[in-house]
Amino acid sequence: MTPPPSSTLTWAQLRDLRCAELEGAADGWGKASNRADAGRDRIEKQLLNGLRETQRGAAADAAVGRLRQLGQNLQYVYTECGLVRTALNSLAHEMRAQQRALRDALDDAEALRFTVHADGSVTYPEAGEGLIDGKPLPGGTASVTAAPGLLPPSGLVAPNPNAAKAQDIADRVTKAVRTAAEIDWRFAGILRDLKAEEGLKVPDRTWTDAAGDAAAVRDAARGYLKSGIPVDASPAARKAWWAGLTDEQREEYLAVYPDQIGNLDGIPALIRDTANRDNLQLLIGKLEGQDDADAETKLAGLREIDRQLSEGRQPPMYLLGIGDEGNGRAIVSYGNPDTARNVSAYVPGLNTSLDEDFARNDLKRARDTAKGANKYDHSSAAIVWLGYDAPQSVDGLDSLDVMGDERAVTGGGAFSRFMGGISATNENEDQHLTAIGHSYGSRTVGAATQEGGGIPGVDDIILVGSPGVGVDRAEDLGVGEEHVFVGAAENDVVTKLPSKGQSVAGAIGLVAAGPAGAYLMGDIADQGDDDLWFGRDPASEAFGARRFPVDEGPRVFSGSGVSIDAHSQYFDPQRDAISADSIALISAGRADKVKIEESR
């Protein structure tokens, strides 16, 4: 950052600064932000829904498009006005601290009958007595030093006892004024940059600019707001913290730290959804300003999620988490997880990242589960949870991430905390929570169960397409073996990945030909073994889970080539109706209706 120019700020100006006027101006910007938010809310919840339900045709489509544009404009106004408000409040907060330090120094000077001059120097009276003649030692003036707090060498210090006191006051006055001048310069730059382009549209480049504005204000407001966010607290404590804030405090946190509030487990779903929808636009703007393949991949996923959110789908979507760290983060619920009695959360696995495929296919799995569960209990919601870095495609022996536990263990801790937040904010006394793990996601769910006390609030666990969960018995998952359900298609090669005893052949096959190769090589190495790479086969009799029937899926090897499609159809009511229905029944708390088949 460029150093501030020499300032003309005087201590008298700092003393007389009316911080309340800055806060009053902030309130005005806050009101403008709130009006924009109310307008956007009316467009999204009333006008657009009304048009979709009652109107059809080209004219209706055009009206929907214009309303969406207006809603986006109002969202931009809400964001920018909120940033101005917080910048002004942060400025007042920091200036008030320096004003307080200055006034304390001036009060000390007055009590000692010192005189503080306009340039910050301090005159002190005679005091003490000479060692030889016993006469009072003369007074003097403590000047402003280049580096407050540094005194002259002890041999040059005047013997008058008031000298050191006066120098201390002069240094404190100087430090307060210099710090206040730096604060003023810093916030002046931030406020100058908070401006919009002319026109009635908000193009992508404007959101790119808004992302930069938000980053600058977040950095400036660190001491004013961010330090108060209880990042290390339990979900229950975070819920209580949010409930204890004033409306104005909540508005500021949502305007400046939507990324923090939207991803904080224990915050109510409606609040997280609001924060994440705002942060989604900032993330799109941020990635628009980057020119690399990773940004393009994530941008495609974010845009697809944004498109679906704007369509007003049923069950209604709630964006419970979004981020661009690692391979990307996205948590979407179909149905309100705070009001639904039954809530399921699905953890995806191998090759999942924040891209367009995830936004289309993994979100569809959660939506299909929600729609299926609602047939059996209308008070049901289903979540897809991409809150960790799932392993990506294997490209060599030195990058066999999928064959290790580290990502599952890290993800398991995050998933456990997330479910703790869902349990804390759910309003039902008889809530029913289900954890669903698919592919490597089942290993992540398994790791979550080994956190202290298991996965908070979870009653049932569903494992589909699992290569093992890290334990050898269903009862070790913490919900009782009768509450652990497994779906394993006969032609799903991932459910037959080789055990560590078969690792040489299996690893070679995995590198050479992916999961299908691992399946083939591992099966040749050790036929009839019920151990998989991450422990005992969850579909085996020895594991002890309840296995529900699923479609066997397409064969791995056929005349048309190699296929692992059997691994990806468990949730699809068209391709595997019996599996999708079983998942829906368990998620809706109707596991008693699920058909059970023999273990492997």
CA–CA distance from 590 to each of 248, 274, 325, 382, 550 (Å)? 43, 32, 37, 15, 18
* Percentage of the residues of the chain whose pLDDT score is greater than 70: 86
How many angstroms separate the CA atoms of 432 and 263, rounded? 22
Q: Which of 487, 427, 498 is nearest to 462 (CA)?
A: 487
pLDDT digits (tens, 9 = 90+) for 477-520: 999 999 999 999 999 988 887 654 454 444 444 444 455 555 54
413/229 Cα distance (integer angstroms): 20
Cβ(487)–Cβ(550) under 8 Å?
A: yes
pLDDT band per the 50, 70, 90 thresholds, residue 534:
confident
In a domain, 411, yes or no: yes
Q: How confident is the model at residue 147 (pLDDT cuts 50, 70, 90)?
A: low
Higher pLDDT, 200 or 192: 192
Q: Does residue 15 sit within a domain?
A: no
21 lies in some domain: no
Distance, in Å, from the CA atom of 185 to the CA atom of 7, rounded to the nearest integer, reads: 9
Q: Would the pTM count as exceeding 0.75?
A: yes
What is the arithmetic mean of pLDDT over 125-138?
A: 76
> What is the number of domains present in the chain?
1
Which of 259, 255, 235, 237 has the alpha carbon at shortest distance from 247?
255
Tell me: pLDDT of 75 over 90: no
Kindly tell me if the per-residue pLDDT of 104 is higher than 80: yes
Q: DSSP 3-state assignment of 142?
A: strand
Q: Is residue 424 in a domain?
A: yes
Q: Is residue 398 part of a domain?
A: yes
What is the C-alpha separation between 156 and 202, in angstroms, rounded?
Answer: 65
CATH of the domain at 432: 3.40.50.1820
Is 480 inside a domain boundary?
yes
Please report whether residue 445 resides in a domain: yes
222-235: string of b/e by CB count within 10 Å (b at 16+)? eebbeeebeeeebb
Domain residues for the domain of 367 are 325-495+540-593
Structure tokens at 237: 């404590």
What residues contact 179, with CB distance under 8 A and at least 6 apart?
A: 98
Tell whether 135 is covered by a domain: no
Task: Reply yes or no on whether the pLDDT at 600 is more than 90.
Answer: no
